[in-house]
Amino acid sequence: TRTRLSFESAILRLGAKLISTENAASNSSTRKGEILEDTIRVVEQYADAIVMRHSDDRAAEIAVSVSNVPILNAGSGKGEHPAQALLDVYTIRKHKKSIDGIKVAVLGDLKYGRTVHSLLQLLSLYDNVEFFGLSKKAFELPEEYVTMLKEKNLKYTVVNSFDELPKDLDVMYHTRIQSERFEGDFGREENIITQEVLNKFS
């Protein structure tokens, strides 16, 4: 809801027009067996750009491979959410002035949380950013992102509690448990940010 309304609001404020479907998963030809590539080939005939949110991790990549108009990735499965990352980095820069050298803690669902995946990739373009990961064992950051940071000479440290985070931390980025992406009960989130927690950091 938030992603859709923010994109639609931006489109209208910029003076463009839009056509949309509220839930293409249940209200489009995909229900009849149409593959994503064919859906994109049809929809691109109606528009100058396509904003797409999809449950498949590779949806945006697939769409780009066949589309003649720009594809804006508004979230692909548990993979990426680059539009959200742009907003997050804008917010960090607005408050911290500079991003180089900041210390960032990522918390919660680091395995399935697509927003944190995109944020780490975008922040990795800056210099000397240091990362800390705090999550349940089942939701640790996938190795591919740990490796990506290592290859860019950026430090990523796994911690087990708020007490292990540096007191001069600049950013806490918390994602919710993506319970819809797995079966089973993993219980409630243990690492909850409260005022008491915030008081620990300068």
Residue 136 annotated in active site: no
Q: Which two tokens stand for residue 109?
A: 């669902």
Residue 32 annotated in active site: yes
pLDDT tens readout for residues 63-89: 999 999 999 998 887 778 888 999 999
Question: Cα 45 vs. chain centroid, distance in angstroms?
Answer: 29
pLDDT tens readout for residues 163-172: 999 999 999 9
Pick the catalytic residue: 39, 54, 78, 81? 81
Q: What is the pTM of this model?
A: 0.80
Residue 21 annotated in active site: no
Residue 194 annotated in active site: no
Measured in residues, the chain has a length of 202
